[in-house]
Amino acid sequence: MLLCCRATASPPPSPPTPSHAADPHARLRAAAARSDLPGALTAFASMPSSPSAPAAARPVLRTFTALLKLCAARADLATGRAVHAQLAARGLASESLAATALANMYAKCRRPADARRVFDRMPARDRVAWNALVAGYARNGLHEAAMEMVVRMQEEDGERPDSVTLVSVLPACANARALGACRQVHAFALRVGLDELVNVSTAILDAYCKCGAIEAARAVFDWMPVKNSVSWNAMIDGYAQNGNATEALALFKRMVKEGVDVTDATILAALQACGELGYLDEARHVHELLLRIGLKSNVSVMNALITTYSKCKRTDLAAELFNDLGNKKTRISWNAMILGFSQNGCSEDAVRLFSRMQLENVKPDSFTLVSVIPAVAEISDPMQARWVHGYSIRHHLDQDVYVLTALIDMYSKCGRVTIARGLFDSARVRHVITWNAMIHGYGSHGFGKVAVELFEEMKGTGILPNETTFLSVLAACSHAGLVDEGRRYFVSMKEDYGLEPGMEHYGTMVDLLGRAGKLDEAWLFIKDMPIQPGISVYGAMLGACKLHKNVELAEESAQRIFELGPEEGVYHVLLANIYANASKWKDVARVRTTMEKKGLQKTPGWSIIQLKNEVHTFYSGSTNHQQAKEIYARLAKLIEEIKDVGYVPDTDSIHDVEDDVKAQLLNTHSEKLAIAYGLIRTAPGTTIQIKKNLRVCNDCHNATKLISLVTGREIIMRDIQRFHHFKDGKCSCGDYW
DNA sequence: CTAGGGTTAG
């Protein structure tokens, strides 16, 4: 046996480090090869600097450039500056080789201005020095400056760009989305034959992708006589980033088939494509592949896999990977998992994981909060909301625009629009998304006029509205019955801002016209749509037909919806209700039968109320609550009280049974149960907050108004579409929803 | 001793 592991064995011989023979220059070279900056500094320290010392022992230019390279690699600015001082003391700081290395060091330490200063002091600048500056600007996000340097090196010094110049400046062209510049570089490369080089062509291809010129990129890719992994990765990622995930995956498969080396970048690009398409099976294949080639220890790849499985709605698989990461987890891993839970409706899991992150002392960043805050918003517990807000402040992240916007949205969703407005007013920086969140907040709470006013104020600030802004504004107009304003904004969207309305905008417009009773106009609006109307558009029409009892147009709309094959039973239910309203019982039966045949089910309605730390869920007629008896008793009393102030049960949507049974059924709606329970459990005067999974029904809406009157309570009800604030016998929606 | 500058990914 050559090596023995027994404890009694003699220690292995130490590596040959003849300390006496220590030539500092050799030691520094060795340290540099190991990228060992401290070792290199020790070696440097043992070099004599006095001119009386033997010349061979004194540091030479090479010594300093080696140190600078190490500083650059580690972004160690302090040491880099010390080396700069040493060079300056010897009058070497402007020497071509040293200055170039210095410029490079500063650029990698994110100090492009210092790099420039060194460059400007050079008496003569060669191509390499120019290249260092181009690369320095490019990697620090100074795209225009990088491109300008390429022009100046030719004009001022007559230096012809070489391959390094091109691969340095191309990322700048790419990040500046400067397609024209990309084309110029490409043309230049063709002219001087630099396109033969794989790295040049790859950089061109990548820049084309980033500028959205995916066909041009593909043409370069297909032309390239020699490709490497980077070329393939850039092309695959180009497709993934440009929304063509299908082509990205196809190319990825070809790459594997042709035996090109798959790297971590390949995997990341392929996973991105799988996630975008929600292709679980493909994601699993990529997963298997990366296990085969041993990329499992790459945390970035595992993080991407967590994200991808989450996008495929498999948080279970994501969580498994997350747990397997053990102590290799980074903050990005936590963020990915929290976001995964948050976006898949697992709000409690998201918040729990966030708490665990605190317990394990992982510092959060703005991404963490932007992931967890929507989960808190979904849970809508004001206490938790206040806590996560305080947490954001403690970690100095509350003024991050994205965090702030998430907080505004969260407070709106917790029914606290005023607090949301306070945050909005205190914001030091506001993006479009910030305005959108606030406008949406007002709109969803029925403050349509305020939403519109805020939108007008936004236009005055010079911030350009986007598609989402208009969606919120149109929805606000719809909820507040601002028909003329809505029509004008819809036109303005395209004419003044060049924004193309999407399916949701059309749906909202139909909703706006339909709610206002302009059914014929809504129908014509659909007919005039330049895109094929989707289920959501006809769904809005159907809802309006229910509201205004128009059987004919309801049938037409439903017909189109059924042709489009809806996955939920809501539209059948809606149509059946419309027939029932018109006493067309045969038709009701027919719709019910088709619904059953298609295996579609009515979504059971539920309402929840949160008290202390418990969530109480009520279904229509449910009796399984611990305090069910009390609840029904309180409800019965409540119904008597509101009858005294004019409550008449709205039994329109119920049939087949006697009137008193109808009233009975209405009285056990989940909303009413939740409210009754809230009244029992909370002190007089407390606001009651309810969340309902469907639209609040007509009768419950009516009843709740009167409940707010007789009990003197404010009741905030969040349904699938919007918020209703009930107070003093009125609702913020003005009975218009 | 011929040094100093460079492509994908998050």
pLDDT in tens, A56-84: 888 999 999 999 999 999 999 999 999 99
pLDDT score for A671? 87
Q: Using the structure, give the distance in angstroms from the CA atom of A84 to the C1' atom of B1, rounded to a whole number.
A: 23
Query: Residue A715: inside a domain, yes or no?
Result: yes
Q: Using the structure, give the distance in angstroms from the CA atom of A670 to the C1' atom of B9, rounded to a whole number.
A: 50
Query: Residue A539: inside a domain, yes or no?
Result: yes
Q: Using the structure, give the distance in angstroms from the CA atom of A38 to the C1' atom of B2, rounded to a whole number.
A: 27
Q: Using the structure, give the distance in angstroms from the CA atom of A416 to the C1' atom of B10, rounded to a whole number.
A: 36
Query: Residue A419: inside a domain, yes or no?
Result: no
Q: Which of A258-267, A498-507, A578-587, A603-612 has the lowest mean pLDDT?
A: A603-612
Nucleotide nearest to A161 (CA to C1'): B5
Last residue of a domain, one of A587, A603, A619: A603
User: What's the rounded mean pLDDT across residues A563-570?
Assistant: 86
Residues A638 and A699 in one domain: yes
Q: Using the structure, give the distance in angstroms from the CA atom of A491 to the C1' atom of B8, rounded to a whole number.
A: 43
Nucleotide nearest to A61 (CA to C1'): B3
Residues A564 and A587 in one domain: yes
Of A522, A515, A503, the closest CA to residue A477 belongs to A515
* Backbone φ and ψ of A501, nearest 5°: -65, 140
Of A35, A98, A36, A91, the closest CA to residue A63 belongs to A98
- Helix then strand then coil, in percent of chain A rounded to 5, is 65, 5, 30
Nucleotide nearest to A240 (CA to C1'): B9
Assess whether pLDDT exceeds 50 at residue A2: no
Residues A632 and A598 in one domain: no
Q: Using the structure, give the distance in angstroms from the CA atom of A356 to the C1' atom of B8, rounded to a whole number.
A: 35
Assess whether pLDDT exceeds 90 at residue A622: no
pLDDT score for A653? 58
The gap between the terminal CA atoms of chain A, to the nearest Å, is: 84
Distance between CA A316 and CA A339 in Å, rounded? 13
Kindly report the bases of strand B lying within 7 A of a protein C-beta atom. Answer: 3-10
pLDDT score for A263? 92
Query: Residue A546: inside a domain, yes or no?
Result: yes
Q: How many C-beta atoms surround the C-beta of residue A604 within 10 A?
A: 11
Assess whether pLDDT exceeds 70 at residue A503: yes
pLDDT score for A49? 79
Number of domains within chain A: 2
Among all protein residues, pick the one whose CA is nearest to the C1' atom of B6. A164
Among all protein residues, pick the one whose CA is nearest to the C1' atom of B10. A300
Q: Using the structure, give the distance in angstroms from the CA atom of A45 to the C1' atom of B4, rounded to a whole number.
A: 23
Residues A724 and A614 in one domain: yes
Query: Residue A51: inside a domain, yes or no?
Result: no
Cβ(A426)–Cβ(A393) below 8 Å: no
Place of tokens 């309570």: A713
Q: How far is CA A397 from CA A56, A286, A371, A534, in A?
A: 55, 36, 13, 40
Residues A634 and A694 in one domain: yes
Residues A584 and A613 in one domain: no
Question: Structural domain of residue A575, as residue ranges?
Answer: 525-603
For residue range A373-409, list pLDDT tens digits in order.
Answer: 999 998 888 889 999 999 999 999 999 999 999 999 9
Residues A582 and A533 in one domain: yes
Query: Residue A565: inside a domain, yes or no?
Result: yes
Last residue of a domain, one of A560, A588, A603: A603
Residue A652 banded pLDDT, cuts 50, 70, 90: low
Q: Using the structure, give the distance in angstroms from the CA atom of A133 to the C1' atom of B5, rounded to a whole number.
A: 8
Nucleotide nearest to A164 (CA to C1'): B6
Q: Using the structure, give the distance in angstroms from the CA atom of A27 to the C1' atom of B2, rounded to a whole number.
A: 21
Residues A717 and A610 in one domain: yes
Q: Using the structure, give the distance in angstroms from the CA atom of A340 to the C1' atom of B6, rounded to a whole number.
A: 37
Nucleotide nearest to A268 (CA to C1'): B9
Cβ(A96)–Cβ(A124) below 8 Å: yes
Q: How many C-beta atoms surround the C-beta of residue A534 within 10 A?
A: 17
Residues A669 and A566 in one domain: no
Assess whether pLDDT exceeds 80 at residue A736: no
Residues A689 and A612 in one domain: yes
Query: Residue A706: inside a domain, yes or no?
Result: yes
For residue range A512-528, list pLDDT tens digits in order.
Answer: 999 999 999 999 999 99
Assess whether pLDDT exceeds 70 at residue A439: yes
Nucleotide nearest to A97 (CA to C1'): B4
Q: Which residues pair with A608 in a beta bridge?
A: A617, A691
Nucleotide nearest to A166 (CA to C1'): B6
Q: Using the structure, give the distance in angstroms from the CA atom of A174 to the C1' atom of B7, rounded to a whole number.
A: 12
Nucleotide nearest to A168 (CA to C1'): B6
Among all protein residues, pick the one whose CA is nearest to the C1' atom of B1. A62
Query: Residue A574: inside a domain, yes or no?
Result: yes
Distance between CA A664 and CA A219 in Å, rounded? 71
Nucleotide nearest to A231 (CA to C1'): B8
Residues A649 and A727 in one domain: yes
Nucleotide nearest to A209 (CA to C1'): B8
Residues A612 and A594 in one domain: no
User: What's the rounded mean pLDDT across residues A133-138?
Assistant: 95
Among all protein residues, pick the one whose CA is nearest to the C1' atom of B5. A132
pLDDT score for A5? 38
Q: Using the structure, give the distance in angstroms from the CA atom of A42 to the C1' atom of B4, rounded to a whole number.
A: 23
Among all protein residues, pick the one whose CA is nearest to the C1' atom of B3. A62
Cβ(A346)–Cβ(A354) below 8 Å: no
Among all protein residues, pick the one whose CA is nearest to the C1' atom of B9. A265
Q: Using the structure, give the distance in angstroms from the CA atom of A224 to the C1' atom of B5, rounded to a whole number.
A: 25
Last residue of a domain, one of A603, A619, A651: A603
Structure tokens at A139: 């990697």
